[in-house]
């Protein structure tokens, strides 16, 4: 696939530029998805157990949502990694989704730190 030009910058997929990627990358993505979802389940159970009576702190809620978004991002990464979908608009949507997922995680961590200090 030729280099993609986005906003005047050329981008070459490093995973395909040096040869086809292996099934290990797919397996690693699936393991990462399961890891984020497992962490989200544990946080959900923690919130339910310790804050079952009262209100769950906003930091925990945001961080939980960030983990869910991060697992969805990892799921979306698979078609892009294997170039099953491509195009400038789809790549831009994918990158914006990634920035939002990371932003929600960081904001949740910020709120949790603010709650304990």
Cα-flanking dihedrals φ and ψ of residue 112, to 5°? -65, -40
User: How large is the angle between the packed helices 23-50 and 58-81, nearest 10 degrees?
Assistant: 170
**What is the value of pTM for the model shown?**
0.61
Look at residue 100 in the predicted model and tell me its pLDDT.
93
Instruction: Examine residue 92 and state whether it is found in any structural domain, yes or no.
Output: yes
Number of domains in the chain: 1
Instruction: Examine residue 44 and state whether it is found in any structural domain, yes or no.
Output: yes
Task: Give tens-digit pLDDT for 29-56.
Answer: 788 888 888 888 888 888 788 777 778 7
Domain assignment of residue 68, given as a range: 21-116
Instruction: Examine residue 46 and state whether it is found in any structural domain, yes or no.
Output: yes
Confidence of residue 104 (pLDDT cuts 50, 70, 90): very high
Instruction: Examine residue 88 and state whether it is found in any structural domain, yes or no.
Output: yes
Instruction: Examine residue 33 and state whether it is found in any structural domain, yes or no.
Output: yes
Instruction: Examine residue 6 and state whether it is found in any structural domain, yes or no.
Output: no
Instruction: Examine residue 96 and state whether it is found in any structural domain, yes or no.
Output: yes
The pair of structure tokens assigned to 28 is 């690693």
């Amino acid at each position: 696939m030729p280099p993609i030009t986005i906003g005047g910058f050329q981008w070459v997929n490093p995973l395909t530029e040096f040869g086809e990627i292996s099934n290990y990358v797919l397996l690693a993505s699936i393991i990462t998805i399961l890891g984020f979802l497992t962490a989200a389940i544990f946080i959900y159970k923690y919130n339910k157990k310790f804050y079952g009576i009262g209100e769950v702190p906003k930091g925990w809620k945001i961080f939980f949502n960030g983990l869910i978004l991060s697992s969805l991002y990892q799921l979306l990464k698979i078609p892009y990694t294997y170039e099953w979908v491509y195009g400038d608009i789809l790549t831009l949507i994918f990158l914006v989704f990634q920035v939002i997922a990371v932003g929600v995680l960081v904001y949740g961590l910020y709120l949790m730190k603010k709650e304990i200090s």
